[in-house]
Structure 1
Amino acid sequence: MKKESIISQYEAAKERFAELGVDTDAAMDALDATEISMHCWQGDDVIGFEGSGQELSGGILTTGNYPGRARNAEELRADYEKAFSLIPGKKRANLHEFYLETGGKFVDRDEVEVKYFENWMQWAKEQGINLDFNTSMFSHPKADAGYTLASYDEDIRKFWVEHGIRCRDIAAEMGKRQGSPCVLNHWMVDGSKDAPVDRYDRRALFIKSLDEIRSKDISKDYVLDAIESKLFGIGLESFTVGSGELALGYAVSRDILLTCDLGHFHPTESVADKVSAVLQFLDKMLVHTSRPVRWDSDHVVLQNDETMALMQEIVRANALQRVYIALDFFDASINRIAAWVIGTRATQKALLSALLEPQKLLLDAERKGDTTFRLALVEEMKNMPVNAVWDYYCEKNGVPVGMDWFGEVKQYEKDVLLGRD
């Protein structure tokens, strides 16, 4: 699309939105100020760089064998950079612990140190982005029994506690160097395939272990701990230690972030509805945009009803400064960089659409009891020219407009990805 056409369509859209009291420039400014944390595990199928050959476990399953998977950190960073170049706005890079770089030496997860992430921190500084971090308590021989922090085996439990402690130290160094808190997400595999007799003691052990991990006093200027719940996983269908209730209780009682993933609840539950409830009790929270299909299958994020509703609720609650937004999906059946671009841009477009809502008109109608007008206006907004504003936003940010990004991905695939074994 020609630049002149993009500008003219934007000006027309700007007038349409202004008639409803919406400032499109202010909406784009708000989008510009919102960082989206892009997850590293989309680029390599959640394999990591430990070199242990351990298969995925903990309810995680990556399907497909599309060519070009990143085989090392250098390739993953190059792929990240290509994706960054096709996505407008501010980005962060979200790392799991097992994306460490050891120079070929095997380092177990209870021995990980800051030095194994020096290259990542230097790269982030060069890119002008910030890093987030995750403990990696799955896909490991000491997680094969289904329990980590809630294990009856004290050696196994202590192993994972030490892993968590070391991850907090790494996250603290990241946050300190980048001048922005590193969001450290804690998600654990713990659970069982069949219904257990003992749920209470397992959960007591789980909480004890989390408290031990967090026993060191680290400033929130450096690390923001978050706990992520899950409904169930493959092989863990009947019992999940870190359920929604446990995670919420722990987050509120310990004053840390709660992580709500779009795929980690019953299909009839609305994560969007949880935002206004959680933020009554917590100062901040973390959300993961994903796309469950029948279960937590972590499909590539789309601008679907669930993503739209989540972003609407964040904006309607005036919570953009209180909610951290990260991506969490992995698809090895399609071009992995395209998956990043599609998912991130979909999240951003959903957020822009929410920012372009005529909130004053909607709130005035609702508070007057005029639900008929409210319903009519909400429905009318679905066909407002949001895409004209999005195209202009992309043009202003110097990234491809519309589907123009796809040609660049296919060229990169031809030049780079297809050359990988």
Structure 2
Amino acid sequence: MFNEKYIEDSYKLAKDIYAEWGVDVENAMDRLAKISISMHCWQGDDVKGFENPEGELTGGIQTTGNYPGRARTAEELRNDLDQAFSLIPGKHKLNLHAIYLENEGEFVDRDEIEPKHFKNWVEWAKEKGIGLDFNPTLFSHEKADDGFTLTHPDKEIRDFWIEHCKRSRKIGEYFGKELGQTAVTNIWIPDGFKDNPVDRFGPRKRLKEALDEITAEKIDPKYNLDAVESKLFGIGSESYVAGSHEFYLGYAMQNDPILCMDAGHYHPTEVVSNKISAVMPFLDEILLHVSRPVRWDSDHVIILDDELQAIAEEIVRPGFEDRVHIGLDFFDASINRVAAWVIGTRNMLKALLKAMLEPTEKLKEMELEGDYTSRLALTEEFKTYPWQAVWNYYCYQNDIPVSNDYLDQIWKYEEKTLNNRV
């Protein structure tokens, strides 16, 4: 779409425009290159996994759509991921769920998973030079069909899930040791009640005790970081969720796990962007699951909307890049799944770059001086500054298709590969 001369000339013009405000465009691109987005594997196969690919999703998880080309095997999923990563600038990570194990045709239950079941993922990640994150899978299982896992009143079932989470932490440690990049192992549970419970405290007491047992063995944070993810409500747990924001915020402040905040896991009038600065004075690190809720936690592909930009600004303006782990969490089966990864991840990177091209220190000075008029005028003007020219050049530098040129490769891959999956 754009030739080399146009990309370079546009970039030089943009560079000069930003320089008038003291913004170092090259520094912004260098800063962006250091950020690894943790791209989620479950977009590629509609959260089926390989434990039992024909199984039904439970635990408040749903996908909609039947676009052709869903990955059916780990090899197909890795091929799709290769295609997606080839269209995204920078070096990133892959976020795996436990159900994406490779068990060589022999059923392995959740409390029996081991690092060996993920050795192919590690070898693939080594070849690509990327890191891996991990998640125990506490849904879509007969022992979670009643909606309870770590809070289950039946100790035998609760112990099953505790063991699953313990083993998941060891797999995260394995990833960290093998790949030389810290793995984040994130725990999310669907536990809750459809209607108003009488005992709200009991499940939360059991959850705390379960988490204490899961994390009792200390793992070097160089290899693995534990995270806990809250939710406001879910399908089948509309009235009460044991793992609420307040519960996990308290647990993270008192213990080692880092807090995970998912953009779709709060009341529709709440936004994650406003919560980042609220928790960072008390927590060393946080994990974000960036998604796009449409009236509820519907996990739409992220677009470059106001909230995504606000999330990026709340990471960049205070310089939190080293303290915020950015993961993505959306799954759309109504469009090309590889394109969904590419569109969403590129949008996250665009938002971060746009935030890095802002003269933040000058705007802070205006704010401290009470010059709110200039602050408003300039923040609005910078929304339409030529950041796109810098983004195009960044892609060009990284030998990544510029603008929507990546679509040509998406359609070729669909015709050659995805359409042959029946």
**TM-score (normalizing by structure 1):** 0.99
- Contact 2:39/2:327 (CA < 8 Å) preserved in 1? yes
Question: Alignment partner of 1:258: what SS?
Answer: strand
Matched, 1:167 2:165: no
Q: Within 5 A, what are the aligned runs for 1:291-330? A: 291-330=292-331
Question: Alignment partner of 1:132: what SS?
Answer: strand
In the other structure, the counterpart of 1:386 is: 387
Q: Within 5 A, what are the aligned runs for 1:213-232? A: 213-232=214-233
Q: Within 5 A, what are the aligned runs for 1:278-297? A: 278-297=279-298
- Contact 1:256/1:282 (CA < 8 Å) preserved in 2? no
Q: Within 5 A, what are the aligned runs for 1:53-68? A: 53-68=54-69
Tell me the CA shift for residue 328 of structure 1: 0.2
Structure-1 separation of matches of 2:378 and 2:187: 40
Structure 1 stretches (4+) deviating beyond 3 angstroms? none
In the other structure, the counterpart of 1:264 is: 265
Q: Within 5 A, what are the aligned runs for 1:159-238? A: 159-238=160-239
Q: Within 5 A, what are the aligned runs for 1:28-47? A: 28-47=29-48
Tell me the CA shift for residue 256 of structure 1: 2.0
- Deviation sequence 1:187-230 (CA, Å, 0-9, x none): 01111111111110110001101111111111101111011001
Structure-1 separation of matches of 2:354 and 2:64: 32
Structure-2 separation of matches of 1:242 and 1:52: 28
- Contact 2:89/2:398 (CA < 8 Å) preserved in 1? yes
In the other structure, the counterpart of 2:411 is: 410
**TM-score (normalizing by structure 2):** 0.99
Aligned residues: 421
- Contact 2:58/2:139 (CA < 8 Å) preserved in 1? yes
Question: Alignment partner of 1:324: what SS?
Answer: strand
Structure-1 separation of matches of 2:143 and 2:222: 32
Question: Alignment partner of 2:289: what SS?
Answer: strand
- Contact 2:231/2:244 (CA < 8 Å) preserved in 1? yes
- Contact 1:366/1:374 (CA < 8 Å) preserved in 2? yes
Corresponding letter in the other structure for 1:242: G
Structure-1 separation of matches of 2:58 and 2:317: 38
Structure-1 separation of matches of 2:91 and 2:363: 29
In the other structure, the counterpart of 2:245 is: 244
Question: Alignment partner of 2:169: what SS?
Answer: helix
Question: Alignment partner of 1:298: what SS?
Answer: coil
Structure-2 separation of matches of 1:207 and 1:57: 23
Q: Mind listing any 5+ residue stretches in structure 1 that lack a counterpart?
A: none
In the other structure, the counterpart of 1:73 is: 74
- Contact 2:226/2:256 (CA < 8 Å) preserved in 1? no
Q: Within 5 A, what are the aligned runs for 1:319-398? A: 319-398=320-399
Q: Mind listing any 5+ residue stretches in structure 2 that lack a counterpart?
A: none
Corresponding letter in the other structure for 1:32: A
Tell me the CA shift for residue 20 of structure 1: 1.0
- Contact 1:69/1:417 (CA < 8 Å) preserved in 2? yes
Structure-2 separation of matches of 1:71 and 1:263: 27
Question: Alignment partner of 2:410: what SS?
Answer: helix
Corresponding letter in the other structure for 1:176: K
Structure-1 separation of matches of 2:240 and 2:53: 28
Structure-2 separation of matches of 1:217 and 1:364: 44
In the other structure, the counterpart of 1:26 is: 27
- Deviation sequence 1:29-51 (CA, Å, 0-9, x none): 01000000100000000000012
Structure-2 separation of matches of 1:40 and 1:270: 25
- Contact 1:362/1:374 (CA < 8 Å) preserved in 2? yes
Corresponding letter in the other structure for 2:75: E
Instruction: Give me the identity figure in percent.
Output: 56
Tell me the CA shift for residue 54 of structure 1: 2.8
Tell me the CA shift for residue 334 of structure 1: 0.4
In the other structure, the counterpart of 2:50 is: 49
Question: Alignment partner of 1:331: what SS?
Answer: coil
Structure-1 separation of matches of 2:64 and 2:255: 37
Matched, 1:11 2:9: no
- Contact 1:175/1:181 (CA < 8 Å) preserved in 2? yes
